[in-house]
């Protein structure tokens, strides 16, 4: 088996299988109990991702982690727990918002603090961390709203597309490890798509999407801080992921769900391609300059 095939097998295929097996068990309970979402969904997603992280990067050898990639593992575990909490706080949106903000601020600080006084001088370090944490929290909260309000396959499909396309953008931005972990998020998010088609009235919910939005946002924060990926590329990926907001607009609210979903997919793909093309060209130009 080639190196690329091994990376795909360990970093995407097996994580998706693990997540799918766990979700099928959970979603059978959905069918039996008639509930719109399940508190164990973030655990299933996180276990698939953590398996990929273990096989591709490894696990932290101590705490607190000394490597930025190790914070991805720690954050994934925390997000699994937080997703369960969000599920049971469904009727308390203010507490959800405060919890997300505290988690985003804390993880941003601990992961990015090595850059303070080194890459970011003086007050600029605190400003960068605060700005990135606030952006992560705002984007995550929008995803949570969509997950609560829109049943079906569209939201996990869009997040899987953005994580997968974003993986290429991160790869061409010279971050192989973050690219692979974004691919792992794409794989576990993609599992939700066929299950959502099977259970059409099922709602992933803010608790279910907490792991996906939280993990993807944290990957982007590390990409900006450590690679560094230009902020505009990450902002464009975040914007591409918000295409399901179009479903809430009057022109699409009463349209066929398939027509509206197709439009959202096209918009997301168009934004991703608009970012991928110049990123790839810049990557090839830099490789040519060094004679690769």
- Name the one residue in this structure whose structure tokens are 């992921």: 241
Distance from C-alpha of 187 to C-alpha of 19, rounded to nearest angstrom: 9
- Name the one residue in this structure whose structure tokens are 């995550």: 140
Question: How far is CA 285 from each of CA 171, 278, 279, 289, rounded to the nearest angstrom?
Answer: 14, 10, 10, 6
* Other CB atoms within 10 Å distance of the CB of residue 262: 12
Nearest to 106 by CA among 127, 133, 124, 69: 133
Position 200 scores a pLDDT of 64
The predicted model gives 25-34 an average pLDDT of 59
Locate all alpha helices (DSSP H) within the chain, ordered by sequence: 3-8, 14-33, 41-56, 68-88, 93-112, 123-149, 154-171, 176-198, 205-226, 231-240, 250-253, 257-289
Q: How far is CA 205 from the centre of its chain?
A: 15
Mean per-residue pLDDT of the chain: 88
For residue 31, name the pLDDT band (cuts at 50, 70, 90).
low
Q: What are the b/e assignments for 148-161, b being 16+ CB within 10 Å? A: bebbbbbbbbbbbb
Distance from C-alpha of 266 to C-alpha of 251, rounded to nearest angstrom: 16
Distance from C-alpha of 50 to C-alpha of 74, rounded to nearest angstrom: 9
Q: How is the chain split into domains, by residue range? A: 3-289
Instruction: Mention every residue, 6+ apart, whose C-beta is less than 8 A from residue 9.
Output: 1
Q: Which of 2-11, 209-218, 282-291 has the lowest mean pLDDT?
A: 282-291
Q: Which of 124-133, 159-168, 210-219, 249-258 has the lowest mean pLDDT?
A: 249-258
Question: DSSP secondary structure string, 136-168?
Answer: HHHHHHHHHHHHHH--SSHHHHHHHHHHHHHHH
Position 264 scores a pLDDT of 94
Mapped onto helix, strand or coil, the DSSP state of residue 37 is coil
Beta-carbon-side half-sphere exposure of residue 57 (alpha carbons within 13 Å): 25
**1 pLDDT above the threshold of 70:** no
The predicted model gives 133-161 an average pLDDT of 92
pLDDT tens across 250-274, in order?
888 778 888 888 999 999 999 999 9
Nearest to 83 by CA among 211, 170, 275, 232: 211
**57 pLDDT above the threshold of 80:** yes
Whole-prediction pTM: 0.92
- Interhelix angle 41-56/205-226, nearest 10 degrees: 30
Query: Do the beta carbons of residue 143 and residue 162 sit within 8 Å?
Result: no
The pLDDT > 70 percentage for the chain reads 92
Query: Do the beta carbons of residue 75 and residue 218 sit within 8 Å?
Result: yes
Instruction: Mention every residue, 6+ apart, whose C-beta is less than 8 A from residue 4.
Output: none
Q: What are the b/e assignments for 125-141, b being 16+ CB within 10 Å? A: beebbeebbebbbebbb
pLDDT tens across 61-91, in order?
878 887 888 999 999 999 999 999 998 888 8
**165 pLDDT above the threshold of 50:** yes
**148 pLDDT above the threshold of 60:** yes
């Amino acid at each position: 088996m080639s190196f690329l095939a091994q990376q795909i097998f360990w970093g995407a295929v097996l994580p998706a299988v693990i997540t799918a097996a766990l979700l099928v068990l959970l979603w059978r309970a959905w069918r039996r109990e008639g509930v719109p979402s399940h508190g164990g969904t973030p655990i299933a997603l996180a276990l698939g991702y953590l398996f990929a992280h273990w096989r591709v990067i490894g696990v932290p050898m101590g705490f607190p982690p000394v490597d930025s990639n190790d914070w991805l593992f720690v954050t994934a575990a925390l997000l699994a727990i937080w997703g369960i909490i969000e599920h049971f706080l469904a009727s308390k949106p203010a507490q959800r918002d405060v919890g997300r903000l505290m988690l985003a601020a804390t993880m941003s600080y601990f992961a990015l603090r090595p850059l303070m006084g080194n890459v970011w001088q003086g007050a600029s370090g605190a400003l960068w961390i605060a700005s990135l944490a606030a952006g992560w929290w705002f984007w995550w909260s929008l995803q949570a709203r969509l997950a609560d309000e829109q049943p079906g396959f569209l939201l996990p499909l869009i997040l899987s597309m953005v994580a997968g396309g974003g993986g290429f953008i991160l790869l061409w931005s010279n971050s192989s490890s973050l690219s692979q972990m974004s691919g792992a998020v794409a794989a576990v998010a993609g599992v939700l798509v066929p299950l959502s088609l099977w259970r059409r009235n099922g709602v992933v919910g803010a608790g279910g999407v907490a792991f996906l939005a939280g993990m993807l946002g944290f990957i982007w924060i590390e990409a900006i801080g450590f690679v560094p990926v230009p902020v505009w590329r990450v902002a464009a990926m975040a914007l591409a992921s918000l295409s399901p907001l179009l479903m809430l607009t009057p022109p699409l609210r009463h349209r066929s769900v398939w027509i509206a979903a197709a439009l959202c997919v096209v918009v997301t793909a168009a934004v991703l391609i608009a970012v991928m093309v110049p990123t790839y060209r810049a990557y090839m130009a830099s490789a040519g300059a060094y004679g690769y």
